[in-house]
Every structure is written in structure tokens, then in C-alpha cells.
Amino acid sequence: MGAAAAALMLSSCSSLNYYSQAAQGQLELLADSRPIDDWLADPRTATPLRHRLETARQIRRFAIQELKLPDNGSYTHFTKLERPYVLWNVVATPELSLKPMQWCFPVAGCVNYRGYYSKQDAQAYAKELRAQGNDVEVGGVSAYSTLGWFSDPLISTFINYPDAELARLIFHELAHQVVYVQGDSKFNESFASAVEAAGVEGWLERFGNPMMTEAFERYTLRKKDFMALLVRYRGELEKTYASKMSRDEKRASKGRLFVALKDDYQVLKANWGGYAGYDRFFAEPLSNAHLASIATYNDFVPAFRALLRKERTWPAFYKSVNQLAKLDKADRHRVLKNLAAPAATSPLVVQRSMGGAKIEDAFQKP
């Protein structure tokens, strides 16, 4: 999640209560953090946490030295929270549309979510939106980036991720500090996802072992399968909402599609051997809001990967990305679409397909 804290802290469009909970939540997160060295020197620090902090420090060094990501105070401290998520995002759409509502903030620009440090506050706001006839999802968030405005700490909500997944998250959030464009979540998230994917590949080559690599490959394949399932049903819903059906017919079709989505997920889950990591997606009744932003993290990843191959070095890549960031949004997206276009092939050559899957599908909000 690229800009939650910036949005939370600096919004001029929100109510006083929203300001207050945002400021208090961010300041408490920072106030409760302690340097990693202090945790490691403290004899009361449990051995498992000690190992996780040492691993996180090694990942951060790799990010700075090899990926040329920012070397600042981020991920030099650790915060222990007594809750499962650092905050909760509220996403909302109209009843018969997949277009998410947006909230606009001075630094983050317009984003498709509104974040709360209290689950109760998030649910209260979701109740208001539902009362207006909207579809709403409340989802827990394990980590976010303040875009360099603050030194983001390691947090107990994600420190116990497997090594490669922890590396993925740190690379992704640090990438948001390299470049961020107001009001263009697709650009921002795809860029960070491309950095994380290439970064994890390099990190596994350096520090991984067969067991670790195999585990991350399983994670990646499950993510790809799950994303493909959501994209398929998002497409069916888009067709339904764009059709000439009556509103009642659209509602009925929507209901059937969500039932089918849940059934297909159970089949997918069985194919994974019962892996239940995505069950939380179904914790609330399914709605359009669940599917509103699923493409944001993926759409331009192939383009950014192509640009990285072209530029060959991380500094050159970041320079090109920053140049793209200066373009008008329409021009920026057009350039990225051209970068992602498949190379022309001879009609005599059979080009094998990967079933439409993108190069990296393991990116989603942690």
C-alpha cells in the first residue's frame, strides 16, 4: 500500500475526527518504535524475534547496496503492536459498478481507499457508506509507506512473514520512496511491484536455498492463480453492468457470480492442498469493492520489467521511471502500454502463451 500514511496525515479533505485518528495512529506507531540494535541488545528479546530482525536488517542492506533503494531511517526500527494489522482500509463502489470511490489528499493525490488505525472506526465509516447504497469492503493492512515523510518501522504485523515475502514487502515499500505520482495508483503500484519482483529474484540468488526458493515459488503460483480467478470474475461483472439488463436482473446476476466465485475458490483451495491463506478475502460478504482495485498492482508490471531490462542498471531504470513520472498521465500510460507490447514475431514462428499471466503476479497488498 503505497501512500496510506501520507494520505492519513496530510488530508485537507477529511473530517476533524479523521484527522485526529490519523495523526494519533501515526505518531503512536513512531513513538512505540525502538532501534533494531536496542532490540537485539535487550536480553528479553525472544530468539525468534531476534532472528527476524537480523534477517530484516540483511534484506534492507541488500535493498540499499544492490537495488539502490533509499538509505534513510526506514526499517531501522521495530514496533510491536497488539493488533493483527497496522490499519484497516475502507474501499467502496456503487452497487452496480466496479469503479471505486476516491478520496483526494495533498501528497498522495486521489486514492481508492480510506485508512483507519482502528478497525472499529473503519467499520463505522463502512456502515455509513453501506447506508448510502454502496458496496463496501474493510480490509486489514500489514504495512504501508509514508513516501519518505517519516522513517517507516518494521512492524509486528509483518515481521514474521517468510524470508522471501518479507524481502518482497520491504523492496515494494522502499520503491515508493523512489518515485510516486499523485493520482496514478496504477503507475505507482506497478512500479513498486516490478521492483519487488526483480529484487526478490536477486535476493534469492544471493541468500536463498532450495527450500526457501521452492516455498516462494509456491507462494507466487498461488497468488497468480488467485489473481486470475478474481480477474475472471471481475470481467464477468463488468459485462453484466455494461449490459442492457434491468437493474434487478443485474443484481441477480451479480449474486450468482459471487456464489460461483466462492465455489471456484474452494476448488482452487483444494488444488493447493487446502492452503487457506486467502480465506480472509472472504471474511465479509463479497461485493464489488473486493474486486475494485485488483488490477492496480499488476497492469504495468510487464512494462516496467521491460524498461529495467532495457536500462540494465537500477540507477538508469529509476532515472527513466522519474522521467515517465513527469509526463501527463495519458502520455505516461501510453508509453507504458507500448513498452509492454509483445515484440513482433515472424508468422512462421509459433509463440507460446502463458495463458495471459503477467510476469509477476505475487504483488498484492501484503
Question: What are the residue boundaries of the structural domains of the chain, listed by start?
Answer: 1-366
Nearest alpha carbon to residue 362 among 117, 79, 209, 171: 171
Question: Is residue 193 packed enough to be buried (19+ CB in 10 Å), middle (13-18) or exposed (0-12)?
Answer: buried
Residue 342 confidence class, pLDDT cut points 50, 70, 90: low
Cα-trace Rg, the chain: 21
List beta partners, residue 87. 141
d(CA 97, CA 247): 11
d(CA 201, CA 195): 10
**Mean pLDDT across the stretch 233-257?**
98
φ/ψ of 356, rounded to 5, equals 80, 0
Instruction: Using the predicted structure, report yes or no on whether residue 130 has a pLDDT greater than 70.
Output: yes
Residue 294: its pLDDT value, please?
80
Nearest alpha carbon to residue 2 among 177, 165, 137, 157: 177
**Mean pLDDT across the stretch 223-248?**
96
Contact 216, 75 (CB under 8 A): no
Q: Which segments of the chain are extended strands (E)?
A: 34-35, 77-79, 87-93, 103-105, 109-111, 114-116, 135-141, 154-155
Tell if the pTM clears 0.75, that is, is over it.
yes
Residue 5 confidence class, pLDDT cut points 50, 70, 90: very low
pLDDT tens-digit series, residues 65-108? 999 999 999 999 999 999 999 999 999 999 999 999 998 766 66
Residue 108: its pLDDT value, please?
64
d(CA 338, CA 255): 37
pLDDT tens-digit series, residues 264-303? 999 999 999 999 999 999 999 999 999 997 866 678 999 9
What residue has cell string 476448488? Answer: 267
Element (H, E) at 282: none
List beta partners, residue 155. 79
| Distances from the Cα of 311 to the Cα of 321, 339, 342, angstroms | 10, 12, 18
% pLDDT > 90, the chain: 79
| Distances from the Cα of 315 to the Cα of 22, 299, 311, angstroms | 34, 23, 9
